[in-house]
Structure 1
């Protein structure tokens, strides 16, 4: 069964509601989500609310998270929970013991890593017995804090990231049916020199996670309703599979949305449908979790404007046209027949450590990206494999791959990992040059 859900954004006071939850409002929100016929939510607590001091985890905050999961269960919804928030909708929520006078890297400082491990285990202890609890994601796009694009980056090497992930994953969940995952934004695939590498996403935890947003240069370079834009999520699903050791490893499309800084409101439902149908054509896709449940109320200040329009429901919990469309797709595709294996694959050149020789070539405008999109446009249902896998006939056979496609290395690169303004500036500079 293909899972369909939402990233839960509270209609009342957004995620600031973790400071003082209104349980009637939470129940109203989650009953509205369940009424769409969806089956799960992703819950995102604010890290400083739960762990305001390195050696203090607030038990009341953990109980509040548990109560949200319980209310979800009462509405008929399963719930996955994130631990480190981290970053949400243009705002960073990092506890004070990692910033300013106490500044240290969350990825390499031993005391900071130990505190995060303690927090992961505290969440596990609080939630593991709930029948509708799915598992933990370590955090929301935490790799952005290691990016040179971040205004105050936390230094980390790839080796330190590997060690950090190993510590936080630990022995894994205490209940076998639960997951423990890590979730990165697309710099892990697209940004050369980024400390997080594709194998971190595709080999830690029990499932790979991808987040797909077309304001990363895809919409600007190709058009918001282009073949490339509506297949971007499907491409990331297949790209994550290229770096997995287990060919059957599940992939969760944990975030995908219809950003109105690129799309018009009238285009959003069709964008949703074309994106979901393309992504669903993968035999290892676990589920699709839309960003997000509710629009951010416009009385809240300083949000990027698109955040006020990303919900399937308005801030008043009224179902929007995109919400109705997503609900219809969930009803239609949840029990879809398992898609056939993909028989051809575009090759991703990698080094001996399975790091892409050029991540820019994987990004929108790059040669690998272009080759995959060209084959998808031709109806070929392409996969992606690393050059290491391509040289191993046994590995190719395990994946059902019968034909390899070499990428054209001359494509333009439209990708950046920060803002639309920078995307456009960099794109123009590249084209003009």
Structure 2
């Protein structure tokens, strides 16, 4: 699929290529969180979106709830689809482009299953043929409904679907079939240049024998999405919130993802990163945001950065993990937090060309198997070696051991030297 000027920041010939980078936020409604879909209020949504646009961000990622969209396996609610289309239109009116996630089975520690997949109706959402076909039809329906929206970036299958594997056992081969089926359905009605993507949380990259694999993330869909969270592997607590391991985590996730791609030019999207308390204390959050964006922007092939999230979860809502109440750029009353100002200022710096991407001509070789994938995550030997080099001022790329002697591949990535762990 050719990624056109729309999906790369609407650049035109002669424009500074730095403007191709996209910066946005994952939209969490201020009033009622995602339960707001039960009684969608366009005025409230527009207020939230205007606040986001005022930060100078250019896109949002939005989420409807799967049980509300598809309450029966063979019934997709037109009213719910219309709500989603209305939100996309409101975002466009605010000057924001939109990525729409489709099958919302997991959001912020809660799982959302339609009743037809649970209890004595239980169907494995990854392997049951009729359940997979139903999800594919949902993606087709959303694509058909949104195809003519000029501000649509594309469709994503859903948010971190690999969170559902505990209750839906699946093999890597079955995951591949599931992703291929839904991505094909998502593309069916999308205009040329719009993206069809999928996402996974960090276990796909760091989890030994996790059924969602790095290869699936880096080779299926039109861009690779990464969600480098500082709580994965207890990273921030292990190394400290101001450590190089934390401040370069999104950069590292981007470079790791590039190593698994077959196409050296495949873009990587830092689609979720944020500053959850207490992992990142509130006083450190602005500097964390600045460092995260600046360091990620230094990676060649970066599609963009999308912060998690727009608005704090209101504490009147119960039973969220503590960190979920603190992740917003805006608090639950709609007031911009210091991290919002820091992010806006840093995005403006990057757009002004102050933190340009630069080639990486030296790569650190990653040797692992599906059963030893954790070496590349926080606490792992490879992760610690890469971040130690970065703290010393080096800018290493990542290359898989099986490609370390492939001269043509290394040349395509601009890699001149490879370094192996002792």
Quote the offset at 1:366 in angstroms: 1.0
CA distance in 2, matches of 1:338, 1:124: 35
**2:309 corresponds to 1:295:** no
Secondary structure at the aligned position of 1:220 is classed as helix
Aligned to 1:397: 411
After superposing on structure 2, the runs of 4+ consecutive aligned residues of structure 1 that deviate more than 4 Å are none
Aligned to 1:214: 230
Question: Is 95-104 or 207-216 further displaced after alignment?
Answer: 95-104
**2:64 corresponds to 1:50:** no
Secondary structure at the aligned position of 2:102 is classed as strand
Quote the offset at 1:215 in angstroms: 1.1
Secondary structure at the aligned position of 2:141 is classed as helix
Quote the offset at 1:338 in angstroms: 4.8
CA distance in 2, matches of 1:340, 1:253: 17
Secondary structure at the aligned position of 1:84 is classed as coil
Structure 2 residue corresponding to 1:238, chosen from 252, 255, 265: 255
CA distance in 2, matches of 1:77, 1:170: 26
**2:154 corresponds to 1:140:** no
**Contact in 1 for aligned 2:271/2:305 (Cα 8 Å):** yes
**2:310 corresponds to 1:310:** no
Quote the offset at 1:407 in angstroms: 2.7
**2:367 corresponds to 1:349:** yes
Secondary structure at the aligned position of 1:261 is classed as coil
**Contact in 2 for aligned 1:37/1:327 (Cα 8 Å):** yes
Aligned to 1:423: none
Aligned to 1:421: none
CA distance in 2, matches of 1:15, 1:346: 42
**2:108 corresponds to 1:76:** no
Quote the offset at 1:331 in angstroms: 1.2
**Contact in 2 for aligned 1:349/1:356 (Cα 8 Å):** no
CA distance in 1, matches of 2:119, 2:150: 41
CA distance in 2, matches of 1:356, 1:388: 14
Secondary structure at the aligned position of 2:365 is classed as strand
CA distance in 1, matches of 2:347, 2:45: 23
After superposition, where does 1:84-99 map in structure 2 within 5 Å? Answer: 84-99=103-118
Aligned to 1:251: 268
Structure 2 residue corresponding to 1:279, chosen from 271, 296, 299: 296
Aligned to 1:267: 284
After superposition, where does 1:200-211 map in structure 2 within 5 Å? Answer: 200-211=216-227
Q: Deviations over 1:38-77 (max 9, x none)?
A: 1000001111110111111011101100000000000000
**Contact in 1 for aligned 2:101/2:156 (Cα 8 Å):** yes
Structure 2 residue corresponding to 1:177, chosen from 184, 189, 193: 193
**2:31 corresponds to 1:12:** yes
Quote the offset at 1:356 in angstroms: 4.5
Question: Is 294-303 or 167-176 further displaced after alignment?
Answer: 167-176
After superposition, where does 1:187-202 map in structure 2 within 5 Å? Answer: 187-202=203-218
Quote the offset at 1:90 in angstroms: 1.1
Q: Deviations over 1:74-101 (max 9, x none)?
A: 0000010001111111111111111121
Q: Deviations over 1:303-324 (max 9, x none)?
A: 1122121111111211110001
Aligned to 1:386: 400
**Contact in 2 for aligned 1:347/1:406 (Cα 8 Å):** yes
Aligned to 1:363: 377
Closer, same or farther in 2 for the Cα pair 1:404/1:242, shift >3 Å?
same
Aligned to 2:244: 227
Closer, same or farther in 2 for the Cα pair 1:170/1:163, shift >3 Å?
same
Q: Deviations over 1:168-220 (max 9, x none)?
A: 11163531121000100000111111111111000001100000111121112
**Contact in 2 for aligned 1:3/1:334 (Cα 8 Å):** no
CA distance in 2, matches of 1:356, 1:53: 37
Structure 1 residue corresponding to 2:78, chosen from 59, 83, 88: 59
Secondary structure at the aligned position of 2:364 is classed as strand
**Contact in 2 for aligned 1:7/1:293 (Cα 8 Å):** yes
Structure 2: where are the runs of 5+ without partners?
1-19
After superposition, where does 1:89-168 map in structure 2 within 5 Å? Answer: 89-146=108-165, 150=166, 153-168=167-182
Aligned to 1:376: 390
**Contact in 2 for aligned 1:192/1:359 (Cα 8 Å):** yes
* Count of matched residue pairs: 399
